[in-house]
Amino acid sequence: MRRFLAVLLFCCVPLAALAAPAAPVLVLGDSLSAAHGIPIETGWVTLLSKRLDTGEPVARRAVVNASISGETTSGGLARLPALLSTHKPGIVVVELGANDGLRGLPLPDIRKNVASLVKLSRDAGARVVLVGIELPINYGPQYRDGLRAMYRDVAAEFNVPLVPFLLEGVALDPALMQDDGLHPVAAAQPKVLETVWAVLKDVLAAP
């Protein structure tokens, strides 16, 4: 009888324990997601990883931060196939375009690359969250508005959720920005995470 109970316990209990873990979240970004100028453990992606590691309020997931300072949409596009093959993410957070914009690259080229990033991720079976960025006002309203519209258009074309501006509530507060005026300080990172989380949480909770 005791042996029977032991076998029954072995058969029943591991079902949940052996269930396949949720596929990871891959963050493909630039310096804004690579914790430029601050300790890596204080960056918003690390904070996201800590939140998802608890399994609350959504299923537990690993987070792969594939962000590189200075990354462009073309650089991300070159790296993405290998990242998808290696990590097999369930969700890809695309946070690229700021460096393209700062370099004044043609908007149609940026749009083409961002659309390709979304399509490659979708074709690999991952859901996508697109994260937009705003440029400093000295770039002029036409280019700034065009970049802003580009994110909206790609999100609408592929029907993917959009975080309109990663640094919402942060970029215009000098106390939350580093001296370069482009990167948030460590104290701003929880706020950056909440901006992403407002959109990402629904994607994480979806079956």
- Cβ pair 188, 172 in contact under 8 A: no
Q: How many domains does the chain have?
A: 1
- Cβ pair 97, 132 in contact under 8 A: yes
Contact 32, 167 (CB under 8 A): yes
Whether 205 maps to a domain, the answer reads no
Handedness of CA 82, 83, 85, 91 (dihedral sign): negative
Q: What pLDDT is attached to residue 111?
A: 98
Q: Is residue 38 part of a domain?
A: yes
| CA dist., res. 179 & res. 166, Å (int) | 18
Q: Is residue 63 one of the residues assigned to a domain? A: yes
pLDDT tens digit string along 40-58?
A: 999 999 999 999 998 777 8
Strand 91-95 and strand 162-163: pairing? unpaired
Q: What is the pLDDT of residue 7?
A: 43
Does residue 139 fall inside a structural domain? Answer: yes
State how far the Cα of 176 lies from the Cα of 167, in Å rounded to an integer. 10
Q: Residue 48 is part of a domain; what is its CATH number?
A: 3.40.50.1110
Backbone angles phi, psi at 94, to 5 degrees: -100, 110
Residue 88 counted as domain residue = yes
Q: Record the pTM.
A: 0.90
> Could you give the CA distance from residue 191 to residue 32 in angstroms, rounded to a whole number?
13
13 in a domain, yes or no? no
Q: Is residue 51 part of a domain?
A: yes
For 93-121, write each residue's pLDDT tens digit: 999 999 999 999 999 999 999 999 999 99
Residues annotated as catalytic are 31, 180, 183
Q: What pLDDT was estimated at residue 2? A: 52
pLDDT of residue 154: 98
Domain that holds residue 43: 22-195
- Provide DSSP, 34-87: TTTTS-GGGSHHHHHHHHHHTT-SS----EEE---TT--HHHHHHHHHHHHHHH
Under DSSP, the state recorded for 35 is T
Is position 169 within any domain? yes
**Neighbouring-strand partners of residue 93:** 27, 129
